[in-house]
Amino acid sequence: MMDDNKQLAQRIDGAIQSASQEVTNLRSELSATSRRLAERGPGGGGGGGGSAAGSLLSLCVVVLLREEVAQLQEEVHLLRQMKDMLSKDLEETQGGCSADVLSATELRVQLAQKEQELDRAKEALQAMKSDRKRLKAEKADLVNQMQQLYATLESREEQLRDFIRNYEQHRKESEDAVKALAKEKDLLEREKWDLRRQTKEATEHTGMLRSQLDLKENRIKELEAELAMAKQSLATLTKDVPKRHSLAMPTEAVVNGNNQEWVMQADLPLTAAIRQSQQTLYVHTGHPTDRQVAAVRVSPCHSRQPSIISDASAVEGDRSSTPSDINSPRHRTHSLCNVRSLEDLEEAKRKKKKEKMGLGSLSRVFARGKQRKSLDPGLFDDSDSLSSPTRHSLNLSDGSEDQLDRLQQVELARTTPMSQWRAGTVQAWLEVVMAMPMYIRSCSENVKSGKVLLGLTDEDLELGLGVSSLMHRRKLRLAIEDYRDAENGRGLSKAADMDHHWVAKAWLSDVGLPQYSQAFHTHLVDGRMLNSLTRRDLERHLNITKKFHQVSLLLGIELLHLLNFDKEALQARRIQCEHQNVDPLVWTSHRVMKWIRDIDLKEFAEGLLNSGVHGAVMVLDPTFNTDAMATALGIPGSKHMVRRHLVEEMKTLIGPASLFECIRSKSFVLLFQPPAGFSPKARSGRDLSCHGSYGSLPREVRDHTPPRAEGSPIRGYTSIEVTNV
């Protein structure tokens, strides 16, 4: 409080001093003004108007100065009063310390100092005001700049939103375009495979037509040779008519008695008529006992055309033989042939034997079968041919009686050895069991019993039954070998229970390669053929070019081979491990995908669709490690934690304990036994272990890997890497 009073007193002193100084200044100005007026007074006699104005001005100035002086005096008076009051207050506060009160001179000095400080403070205040104005101006500039920046930022944000919106729209359009391209690619792939299949079928059909054309050409040559022989016989008979007239008289009754028969024979081709005329002579010129023997020896099957010849010649014979041709040279040739001498007949018989001996193994097999069954007219008469209404209705009609008969024949084929089959059983087996109805016609013409079927070779199957497809011939040959082994007491193999429908649908889906179902179905690949397939067969006949897909199929076949092709045992083991992560050897591709989902990798599980990854690949392929599995799943190499998790899970699944448990089990011991009654052919030496590493599998597992079975389809197969799953 005292300090405040002192400061206020000092300010008042300063104000008083300034007021007194101003008064002094005004006085000096007033004196100077009066002096100037005095100087102007004596010198301004000629200018009265100017002096008056000057006096008036001086008076005004004096009045103003006086008023100002009066005001200043009043202010000084007021200031002095305030000073007195403050002095009193100061004295009261100091409590009688009058001795310490400064003198007026000292107060003036202090007041002067304070005035200087006040001036400096005013200057500083002015500087601060100017700085404040400058800062305000800068602030206004900054505000304007910020507003401009905000406007620019908003425009940029709007542009960015538009860009993001356009990018999302473009991305959706790109995804739609990619999906459309993928669909188009799939469609083109299907069309490509359809075109390949059609091309292959057209090639097979062309080969079949070419073989038929060759057979027709051979038949034409045979007919030309027989025609030349007939012409030569006609010339010989015409030359020796007088000599043979005596021999013709006894047989005249026979010839006249058979006129109706010759009219019927006119409907036959030339060679058939000649052969039948010869057989008629054999029957009618001998003793009754000899006639019976001849009837037994000359079966109607021998009078028909050769079985490998198409029906074109028969149709041609039907067109060329009419009732008006009875008197034609051909009919006269038949009559002359009937009256030939016994020596000529014997000579013709020997020539005929030579011709029959010149035929291939197929004709001899068919001839033996016909001779063995010639005493049974129900098997080898004309009713067994496809021209018979009964047989035709059996093959073409869908009536309940035909179906019942066919099913009865199939059941008979399943319960009776093949050597005891008859023609109907063979045809039903070929149509229903083997799913080859396209070869029934040739089979009905050429194969009359199961014994004949057991004796057929590949050449007989191709020429006699018209089986031009290599895979179809292999299927028939393997089935015949299986039945031949069953005749020896071994019984049919378990592979006989696997038809081509199960292989094309169920088995290919289990190994994760359903895209090849059409090819397997077209080639009628069944269980027996699976055991005979090689890598070359897969690539050449089934159009499977990807190496990993080939290995996947061969390992699936090896699993079947290890299980002795027992579907029930395989299904039982799969049911046991359906909800437990054990026995991965028998896992299907769908079970592997389920395991992938169970180990928290469900976002990658769809990558195994149509990839060929199944349990046999994971266990039996030494090169299929965690890297291969990660590649198949489509896991990027940058996701190290995911790959490490997959490594741990695969070690747990395919570890020593799981594998040793499979090895110790009884069913796994049976895996290495070759199938009973089965001898697969065309095994190629291939090795599947050129990569000497098992990847991430433990050393114990690598040291105790199960050996390859002797008949395994991948024994000795060269290994590959999973690069194109």
Residue 272, CA atoms < 13 Å, CB-side half-sphere: 21
Enclosing H/E stretch for 160: helix 104-239
Residue 215, CA atoms < 13 Å, CB-side half-sphere: 20
Higher pLDDT, 440 or 371: 440
Q: Helix or strand or coil: residue 445?
A: helix
Among the listed residues 313, 312, 285, the one whose alpha carbon sits nearest the alpha carbon of residue 227: 313
Q: Tell whether the model's pLDDT for residue 33 goes beyond 70.
A: yes
Alpha-carbon distance of 155 to 161, in angstroms, equals 10
Tell me, yes or no, whether 654 and 577 share the same domain: yes
Alpha-carbon distance of 610 to 508, in angstroms, equals 10
Can you give 320-337 as a three-state secondary structure string?
HCCHHHHHCHHHHHHHHH
Pair 439, 430: CB distance under 8 Å: yes
Tell me, yes or no, whether 668 and 546 share the same domain: yes
Tell me, yes or no, whether 562 and 634 share the same domain: yes
Alpha-carbon distance of 51 to 33, in angstroms, equals 14
Q: What is the DSSP letter of 393?
A: H
Question: Predicted confidence band at 548 (pLDDT cuts at 50, 70, 90)?
Answer: very high
Enclosing H/E stretch for 614: none
Question: What average pLDDT does the segment 242-265 reach?
Answer: 40
What is the percent of the chain where pLDDT is above 70? 62
Q: What is the DSSP letter of 64?
A: H
Last residue of a domain, one of 312, 343, 358: 358
User: What are residue 449's DSSP bridge partners?
Assistant: 422
Residue 154 lies in a domain: no
pLDDT at residue 240 in the model: 57
**Distance from chain centroid for Cα 452:** 46
Query: How many domains is the chain built from?
Result: 4
What does the pLDDT look like over 410-436, one tens digit per residue?
888 888 889 899 989 999 999 889 999
pLDDT at residue 561 in the model: 92
Higher pLDDT, 160 or 392: 160
Residue 339 lies in a domain: yes
Tell me, yes or no, whether 457 and 576 share the same domain: no
CA dihedral angle for residue 519, residue 523, residue 525, residue 530, rounded to 10 degrees:
-80
* Amino acid in the structure at residue 86: L
* Amino acid in the structure at residue 101: V
Q: What is the DSSP letter of 309?
A: S
Tokens of 107: 């107060």
Residue 30 lies in a domain: yes
Tell me, yes or no, whether 541 and 678 share the same domain: yes
Alpha-carbon distance of 196 to 512, in angstroms, equals 22
pLDDT at residue 618 in the model: 92
Q: Tell whether the model's pLDDT for residue 191 goes beyond 70.
A: yes
Q: Helix or strand or coil: residue 716?
A: strand
In this structure, what CATH number is given to the domain that contains residue 659?
1.10.150.50
H helix runs in 240-311, sequence order: 241-248, 252-257, 259-265, 270-284, 288-297, 300-303
For 406-444, give one letter per residue: b (16+ CB within 10 A) or e.
beebbebbeeeebeebbbbbbbbbbbeebebeebbbbbb
pTM over 0.75: no
Mean of the per-residue pLDDT values of the chain: 71
Tokens of 166: 């356009």
Residue 159 lies in a domain: no
Q: Tell whether the model's pLDDT for residue 61 goes beyond 50.
A: yes
Choose the weakest-confidence range: 67-71, 305-309, 339-343, 480-484.
305-309
Last residue of a domain, one of 306, 338, 358: 358
Pair 14, 112: CB distance under 8 Å: yes
The most confident of 319-323, 628-632, 655-659, by mean pLDDT: 628-632
Tokens of 526: 């069944």
Residue 14 lies in a domain: yes
Question: What average pLDDT does the segment 279-285 reach?
Answer: 38
Return all residues near 501 (Cβ < 8 A) that are at least 6 apart: 521
The most confident of 49-53, 124-128, 276-280, by mean pLDDT: 124-128
Q: Tell whether the model's pLDDT for residue 686 goes beyond 50.
A: no
Pair 90, 5: CB distance under 8 Å: yes
Residue 69 lies in a domain: yes
Question: Predicted confidence band at 341 (pLDDT cuts at 50, 70, 90)?
Answer: very low
What does the pLDDT look like over 1-23, one tens digit per residue?
566 667 777 777 777 787 778 77
pLDDT at residue 343 in the model: 45
For 602-639, give one letter per residue: b (16+ CB within 10 A) or e.
eebbebbeebbbbbbbbbbbbbbbbbbbbbbbebeeee
Supply φ then ψ for residue 422, to 5 degrees: -105, -175
Question: What average pLDDT does the segment 65-94 reach?
Answer: 78
Question: What average pLDDT does the segment 67-92 reach?
Answer: 79
Tokens of 565: 């092709």
Tell me, yes or no, whether 444 and 348 share the same domain: no
Alpha-carbon distance of 518 to 508, in angstroms, equals 10
Alpha-carbon distances of 712 from 41, 321, 500, 682, 702, rounded to whole Å: 151, 61, 21, 12, 20
Tell me, yes or no, whether 537 and 645 share the same domain: yes
pLDDT at residue 28 in the model: 80
C-alpha R_g of the chain = 62
Tell me, yes or no, whether 458 and 504 share the same domain: no
Last residue of a domain, one of 63, 79, 101: 101
User: Euclidean distance between the first and final Cα of the chain, in Å?
Assistant: 98
What does the pLDDT look like over 551-576, one tens digit per residue?
999 999 999 999 999 999 999 999 99
Alpha-carbon distance of 91 to 619, in angstroms, equals 115
The most confident of 92-96, 342-346, 480-484, 698-702, by mean pLDDT: 480-484
Higher pLDDT, 397 or 50: 50
Enclosing H/E stretch for 528: helix 527-530
Return all residues near 306 (Cβ < 8 A) that are at least 6 apart: 219, 363
pLDDT at residue 691 in the model: 33
What does the pLDDT look like over 106-135, one tens digit per residue?
888 888 888 898 898 889 888 888 988 999
Q: Helix or strand or coil: residue 686?
A: strand
Alpha-carbon distance of 78 to 721, in angstroms, equals 114
Tokens of 649: 């899970």
Q: Tell whether the model's pLDDT for residue 694 goes beyond 70.
A: no
The full DSSP string for 534-587 is -HHHHHHTS----HHHHHHHHHHHHHHHHTTT-HHHHHHHHHHTSSSS--GGG-
Question: What average pLDDT does the segment 328-351 reach?
Answer: 43
pLDDT at residue 194 in the model: 87
Residue 544 lies in a domain: yes
Question: Predicted confidence band at 255 (pLDDT cuts at 50, 70, 90)?
Answer: very low
Higher pLDDT, 337 or 579: 579
What does the pLDDT look like over 571-610, one tens digit per residue?
999 999 998 888 899 999 999 999 999 999 989 999 999 9
Tell me, yes or no, whether 354 and 434 share the same domain: no
Tell me, yes or no, whether 631 and 529 share the same domain: yes
Higher pLDDT, 264 or 535: 535
Tell me, yes or no, whether 436 and 505 share the same domain: no
Question: Predicted confidence band at 351 (pLDDT cuts at 50, 70, 90)?
Answer: low
Alpha-carbon distance of 418 to 473, in angstroms, equals 18
Residue 327, CA atoms < 13 Å, CB-side half-sphere: 1
Expressed as residue numbers, the domain containing 319 is 240-358
pLDDT at residue 177 in the model: 94
Question: Predicted confidence band at 95 (pLDDT cuts at 50, 70, 90)?
Answer: low
Tokens of 78: 């007021």
Pair 677, 709: CB distance under 8 Å: no
Residue that has been written with the tokens 């009628």 in this structure: 524
Residue 596 lies in a domain: yes
Q: What is the DSSP letter of 249?
A: T
Tell me, yes or no, whether 294 and 412 share the same domain: no
Question: What average pLDDT does the segment 676-697 reach?
Answer: 35
**Distance from chain centroid for Cα 215:** 44
Question: Predicted confidence band at 74 (pLDDT cuts at 50, 70, 90)?
Answer: confident
